[in-house]
């Protein structure tokens, strides 16, 4: 084993703010959605918490976006432009997750500084970070002040449409919060990837 520096400090700070922020948003969102059925905190406290953390996460997203946009690390998110190569790599990764990992086979993806995501992760994170997160931020801001953004809400299809999109993406992120730690535990040890997101160094096989 040897170590390579994969996760710069800004990325690690962004990651942990995002992680705790998402958990808070999901918990407060459930409280807001099911007021009367779940009463852990008051409705007003849940709304205030949801709004405050939401704006923190929006600011955090721009930190992430600007860091990658103005550094060479943007290469991590560049898509594979050869569809067949991406398909083959994705199939190998799915085969590993579905079968090979239970047989002790080696992960077909080898982490490097500019290639830290496997084919499935790369596609997923591109969709999440460049599509779902921005949509969730926009719909969240619109719902934050319905009267102020009434014209924008009308242009996007009305309040019901905005709220439905926001809730559907919320459901996706709620599931993602459970799946992500599981996938992160699939390193050569269960804690390897968690340690890497603290120290910045990934351990890779020689």
Written as six digits, the tokens of 198 are 């603290």
* 3 state DSSP class of 150: helix
Residue 128: the pLDDT is: 94
Most confident among 32-41, 107-116, 127-136, 181-190 (mean pLDDT): 127-136
Residue 146 predicted with pLDDT over 90: yes
- 142 burial (CB, 10 Å; 0-12 / 13-18 / 19+) is buried
Q: What is the pLDDT of residues 173-204, one digit of tens each?
A: 999 998 999 989 988 888 999 999 999 999 88
Q: Tell me, what's the pLDDT at 95?
A: 94
CA dihedral 17, 18, 23, 25 (to 10 degrees): 100
pLDDT of residue 91: 94
Q: What is the DSSP string of 97-158?
A: HHTGGGGTPPPS---BTTB-S-HHHHHHHHHIIIIIHHHHHHHHHHHHTTTTTHHHHHHTT-
The Cα 160–Cα 163 span in angstroms is: 5
Q: What is the per-residue pLDDT across 45-77, written as a single tens digit (0 to 9) for each?
A: 999 999 999 999 999 999 999 999 999 888 888
Sequential DSSP letters for 17-30: HHHHHHHHHHHHHH
Domains of the chain by range and CATH?
A: 2-204 (1.20.950.20)
Report pLDDT for 88.
Answer: 94
For the question of whether the overall pTM of this predicted structure is more than 0.85, the answer is: yes
What rounded mean pLDDT belongs to the chain?
92
In this predicted model, what pLDDT tens digit does every residue of 8-44 receive, in sequence order? 999 999 999 999 999 999 999 999 988 878 788 899 9
Q: Is the pLDDT of residue 89 over 90?
A: yes
């Amino acid at each position: 084993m040897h170590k390579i520096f994969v996760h710069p400090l800004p990325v690690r700070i962004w990651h942990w703010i995002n992680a705790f922020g998402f958990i808070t948003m999901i918990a407060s969102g459930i409280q807001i959605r099911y007021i009367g059925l779940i009463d852990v905190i008051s409705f007003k406290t849940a709304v205030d918490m949801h709004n405050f953390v939401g704006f923190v996460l929006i600011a955090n997203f721009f930190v992430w976006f600007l860091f990658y946009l103005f550094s060479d690390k943007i290469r991590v998110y560049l898509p594979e432009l050869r569809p067949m190569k991406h398909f083959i790599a994705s199939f190998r990764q799915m085969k590993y997750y579905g079968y090979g990992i239970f047989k002790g086979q080696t992960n077909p993806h080898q982490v490097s500084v500019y290639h830290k995501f496997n084919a499935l992760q790369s596609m997923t994170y591109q969709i999440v970070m460049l599509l779902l997160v921005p949509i969730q931020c926009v719909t969240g801001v619109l719902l934050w002040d319905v009267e102020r953004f009434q014209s924008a809400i009308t242009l996007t299809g009305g309040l019901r449409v905005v709220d439905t999109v926001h809730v559907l993406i919320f459901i996706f992120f709620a599931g993602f919060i459970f799946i992500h730690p599981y996938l992160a535990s699939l390193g050569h040890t269960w804690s390897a990837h968690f340690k890497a997101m603290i120290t910045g160094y990934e351990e890779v096989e020689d």
